[in-house]
């Protein structure tokens, strides 16, 4: 299982008056890390959009448990991997480590879609090609 | 059960190249709506911090299901209420409605804390006072 | 000269560990207020894009002087108006008032563009139609 | 004159429906780069706050000219240096380069402050120590 390790520096503007990361920022980092994970296995989104007619990888669910705070200047690592493949969706697991300590544990569920034949402006979930799944093994 | 209805306008900068809301923004709106819910029952955070020595209401878990996209200019409503009280934590449920359609369904779990007697710079979870719970009935 | 008054609540996540608004947020509010100013004179961007083939109103310059800080919970007002019309550009002035006190004084310069005849993916500045200017008088 | 070169990757969430960077983000990168410039000359803010009783380096002015757009995936560089020292303020110049092309040209003016003797909760501008200026030569 391929894992991507994404280094993030916590900047001043990422933190709030409690001097810790304002939590929605973790989800932005999850989103970035998912994209970088795909890049790292040779599947950049632009290539997928062209080859498979997907329109991004729409998110249908996101979750996080916040176990320890991160502060200004912390150098954290987001470790991301696909932890579950379903027929038309997949789950990306994200673990944020701060000096080796597990700070956040989360996941995103994303869906593989194509334009609807009857209405191309709308999307419908379709099966994920086997070669996509194989690329993460 | 008290519910707060928070009106949000989706601005250009809230959306991404797919022309829909970049999903971490929903969590920022959840956070804002939780604060406004507390205000609406007469419990602004500053008052709580002074009276109960809490240091904000740290988040320990956040979750969202994204059911329908929201776009630039959409006028959405975040409906928020405390859906579960535990001894030291509580769950705030958030439903985002877009023109009457359920667009996002999520929640936050937050914890009631006090400074640790042995190390005031650190926090420990403590029981939520009964009058706090009563204020939301 | 038409002026738009945009009410903004400063939320927790808009502020930094110094407990004041993280300054890039003011520019996001400038951007929102410019759009709302155009709406208020009956010129929503979508209509402009369709009728005049512009592609948004690209920003070429932004400036702000920060005169007084704004804090969590402050209810501020962004007052916006077009303060200068040039042949192909215009300047939107923004004043942020916090309880009647001038907190920020800024502006944006934006440009009126059309696709280049030789390369429609690129934009070129073109003269602003007289009826656009007239709408703000 | 010391210059800091700050590498930034443009992420999906940094861009808007026009598929270019939403401009307030450049100011966030300016802010980050100023902090990193100070770090790079051995003057981290925490040390300054302790030694000189300053409370951050409040911004009093920010400016940017946007010369060329940056897009999703672009690897840009923010080059930052102190371009002007005044008695109590200084100007940090920022140039954003995108594949060698000048994309943004901007600056921030920041002020050196101490708590007011009569009211420590408020700040007043004070002269910048000579050794601070010397550190950037």
When pLDDT is cut at 50, 70 and 90, the band that residue D80 belongs to is very high
Q: Which of A12, A31, A35 sits opposite D31 (nearest CB)?
A: A12
Helix (H, G, I), strand (E, B) or coil at B47: helix
Give the per-residue pLDDT at A29. Answer: 98
Give the per-residue pLDDT at B89. Answer: 98
Res. A55: pLDDT tops 90? no
pLDDT tens across C64-113, in order? 999 999 999 999 999 999 999 999 999 999 999 999 999 999 999 999 99
Give the per-residue pLDDT at C64. Answer: 98
* Interface check B15 vs D, CB under 8 A: yes
When pLDDT is cut at 50, 70 and 90, the band that residue A121 belongs to is confident
Q: Which residues of D touch C18 (CB under 8 A)?
A: 55-56, 58
Q: Which residues of C touch B31 (CB under 8 A)?
A: 11-13
Closest CA to B75 of B137, B123, B14: B14
- D41 to chain C, minimum CA–CA distance in Å? 23
Output the CA torsion sign for A125, A112, A23, C36: negative
When pLDDT is cut at 50, 70 and 90, the band that residue D122 belongs to is confident
- B11 to chain C, minimum CA–CA distance in Å? 7
When pLDDT is cut at 50, 70 and 90, the band that residue A91 belongs to is very high
Give the per-residue pLDDT at B34. Answer: 98
* Interface check D66 vs C, CB under 8 A: yes
Q: Which of A53-57, D6-10, D13-17 has the lowest mean pLDDT?
A: A53-57
* Interface check D13 vs B, CB under 8 A: yes
Average pLDDT along chain B: 96
pLDDT tens across C113-128, in order? 999 999 988 889 999 9
* Interface check B31 vs A, CB under 8 A: yes
pLDDT tens across D35-53, in order? 999 999 999 998 999 999 9
Q: Which residues of D touch B12 (CB under 8 A)?
A: 16-17, 22
Closest CA to A97 of A1, A3, A2: A3
- C7 to chain B, minimum CA–CA distance in Å? 12
Average pLDDT of span B14-25: 95
Average pLDDT along chain A: 96
**What number of C-beta contacts closer than 8 Å exist between C and D?**
58
Give the per-residue pLDDT at D97. Answer: 98
- Which residue of chain B comes nearest to D24, CA vs CA? B13
Average pLDDT of span B85-91: 98
Res. B126: pLDDT tops 90? yes
pLDDT tens across A70-90, in order? 999 999 999 999 999 999 999
Q: Which residues of D touch A11 (CB under 8 A)?
A: 28, 31-32, 35
* Interface check C28 vs B, CB under 8 A: yes
C75: its two tokens:
């209810």
Q: Phi and psi for A82 in degrees, rounded to 5?
A: -80, 115
pLDDT tens across C29-53, in order? 999 999 999 999 999 998 999 999 9
Give the per-residue pLDDT at A65. Answer: 98
Res. C15: pLDDT tops 90? yes
Output the CA torsion sign for A17, A11, D26, C66: positive
Give the per-residue pLDDT at C122. Answer: 86
Which residues, including other chains, have CB under 8 Å from residue A1's CB and lie 6 or more apart?
Answer: A81, A82, A83, A136, A137
Alpha-carbon Rg of chain C, whole angstroms?
A: 16
DSSP string over D70-96: -BTT-EEEEEEEEEEE-SSEEEEEEEE
Q: Which residues pair with D102 in a beta bridge?
A: D97
Which residues, including other chains, have CB under 8 Å from residue A89's CB and lie 6 or more apart?
Answer: A60, A109, A110, A111, A112, A125, A128
- Helices H, strands E: what count in chain A? 3, 7
Q: Which residues of A touch C22 (CB under 8 A)?
A: 12-13
Q: Which residues of D touch C22 (CB under 8 A)?
A: 28, 31
* Interface check D105 vs A, CB under 8 A: no
- Report yes or no for ipTM above 0.85: yes
> Interface partners of D (3+ CB pairs, < 8 Å)?
A, B, C
When pLDDT is cut at 50, 70 and 90, the band that residue D13 belongs to is very high
Nearest-angstrom CA–CA distance, C9 and B31: 14
Q: Which of C18, C58, C65 sits opposite D60 (nearest CB)?
A: C65
Res. B120: pLDDT tops 90? no
Q: Look at A31 and B18 and tell me if their CB atoms are within 8 Å.
A: no
Q: Look at B66 and A60 and tell me if their CB atoms are within 8 Å.
A: yes
C35: its two tokens:
């759009």
User: Angle at the Cα of C19 (from C15 to C25), degrees rounded to 5?
Assistant: 25
* Interface check B65 vs A, CB under 8 A: yes
- A70 to chain D, minimum CA–CA distance in Å? 17
When pLDDT is cut at 50, 70 and 90, the band that residue D96 belongs to is very high
């Amino acid at each position: 299982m391929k894992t991507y390790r994404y280094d993030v520096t916590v900047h001043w503007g990422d933190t709030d008056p409690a001097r810790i990361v304002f939590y929605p920022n973790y989800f932005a980092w999850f989103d970035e890390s998912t994209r970088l994970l795909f890049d790292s296995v040779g599947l950049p989104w632009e290539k997928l959009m062209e080859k498979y007619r997907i329109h991004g990888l729409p998110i249908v669910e996101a979750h996080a448990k916040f176990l320890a705070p991160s502060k200004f200047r912390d150098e954290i690592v987001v470790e991301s991997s696909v932890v579950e493949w379903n027929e038309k969706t997949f789950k990306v697991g994200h673990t944020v480590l701060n000096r080796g300590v597990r700070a956040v544990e989360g996941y995103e569920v994303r869906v593989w879609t194509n334009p609807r034949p009857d209405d191309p402006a709308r999307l419908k979930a379709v099966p994920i090609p086997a070669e996509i799944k194989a690329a993460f093994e």
